[in-house]
Amino acid sequence: MTDLRALIRTIPDHPRPGIQFRDITTLLLDPAGLRATVERLADTVSDRPDLIAAIEARGLVIGAALAVRLGCGLLLIRKDGKLPGGTIAEDYALEYGSDRLAMHVDAFTPGAKVLVVDDLLATGGTALAAARLVRRAGGEVTGARFVVDLPALGGAEKLREEDIETHSLLQFDGD
């Protein structure tokens, strides 16, 4: 069995002093680790969604692979200004700043079942912004999946407060 934790490196003081950045790019380089990640995430999904809402940037990689594995479509959630055509956008707070996410306004028909996917859950701001975009467009958020959770930052609890069921493959203590 592949040890996913061993494939994730920690980069101290990135992007600012005091942050322990959990870098999954080393996991993505490992074929067995990438395959195990996608399979383990897929195993947590009981009802196939219509779409995976994958969050830029590393979430797009995991989300695309998971969409293929589950046999559903891929909804891109990107930084504002990166998508062509009509979009809707949502501001959100990060543990070290703020940003804005966007998606195509016509990405799906109302009532679509959408699973939010990203590489890491910290404060929950990014995932909540993605979920709010999906809901604003008339979609049903069926849950959220992450490779890594940083429980000390409270993101999973914030998602649960908005009735979003979450699952992460790994947890790292601290920030």
Q: In the annotation, is 58 catalytic?
A: yes
Q: Bridge-partner residues for 116, per DSSP? A: 53, 144
The single residue of 40, 69, 95, 165 carrying the catalytic annotation is 95
Pairing of strands 20-23, 9-12: antiparallel
**Where do we find the tokens 């009735």?**
163
The single residue of 9, 22, 40, 58 carrying the catalytic annotation is 58
Q: In the annotation, is 136 catalytic?
A: no
How far apart, in whole angstroms, are the C-alpha atoms of residue 52 and residue 65?
Answer: 10
Least Cα distance to 29 among 54, 9, 10 occurs for: 9
Residues with catalytic roles: 58, 95
